[in-house]
Amino acid sequence: MRKILLFSLLCSSSLVMGAEVSSYVGKVQFKSEFANSAGLAEEAWTVDGRIDFDLEEHLSVEFGIGALFLDDKQQFKQDVTNLNDYYYRDTYTAESSETGFLLSIAGKINYPINDIFSGNMLVGYEYMDFDREIAYCDTCYSESVDIDAGLFLGLGTGISFGQNMELKFQYKMYLSDGDVDNQALVGISFLM
């Protein structure tokens, strides 16, 4: 019952005034101690998509999901035997993947400076994960590398192009004593 009530409150037209869909590309900087112990480079590329729901005139909540593209210094190879529908055996050597994912949620204060420029501040939580594994192989070796991202504070600015499109720049500083130092992003957003 509580979930239904919360969902109806979030979807209420008097509470949610609009939505914004955005896509970002950026670099995440890991702390050197973590990168060395996990066998990763200190930097990784990120690509993520987000959706913002306006709660009040200058307040919104943002949900994000994305991919991490890492330079894995402990990448491994393994012989894989594939048995297809015709019972033909195909043996090949495969390399472990170098991709992870991220999930985030944040509260955001938006402040329009003028008709073209805007600023924002985010406070949120981000989860990052990376699995060292051979894709589509159930019997191959794999290991999970936990990335402690945690709480972050983000500052951003936007440049409007017309009424519904905005070029965005964002910088995140991670507040927890985790594995991630900071993240710099550039993106584009569309108002719905």
Q: Is the pLDDT of residue 16 over 70?
A: no
Strands 40-54 and 89-95: unpaired
Q: Between the CA of residue 154 and those of 86, 98, 103, what are the distances in Å?
A: 54, 26, 15
Lowest mean pLDDT across 2-6, 30-34, 46-50: 2-6
- State the CATH architecture for 15-191: Beta Barrel (2.40)
pLDDT (0 to 100) of residue 83: 63
63: left (phi over 0), alpha (psi -120 to 50) or beta: beta
Identify the sign of the CA torsion 29, 33, 37, 39. positive
Provide, rounded to the nearest whole percent, the portion of the chain with pLDDT above 90.
61
Q: Where are the domains of the chain?
A: 15-191
pLDDT (0 to 100) of residue 86: 63
Identify the sign of the CA torsion 133, 70, 185, 47. negative
Average pLDDT over residues 156-162: 93
Q: Kind and range of the H or E element at 115?
A: none
Q: Kind and range of the H or E element at 164?
A: none
pTM score, whole prediction: 0.81
Q: What contacts 191, CB < 8 A, 6 or more positions away?
A: 18, 19, 20, 163, 164, 165, 166
pLDDT tens digits for 112-155? Answer: 999 899 999 999 999 999 988 888 777 888 888 889 999 999 99
Q: Is the pLDDT of residue 5 over 60?
A: no
DSSP 12-43: -TTT---EEEEEEEEEEEE-HHHHHHHTEEEE
Alpha helix (H) residue ranges in the chain: 2-11, 32-38
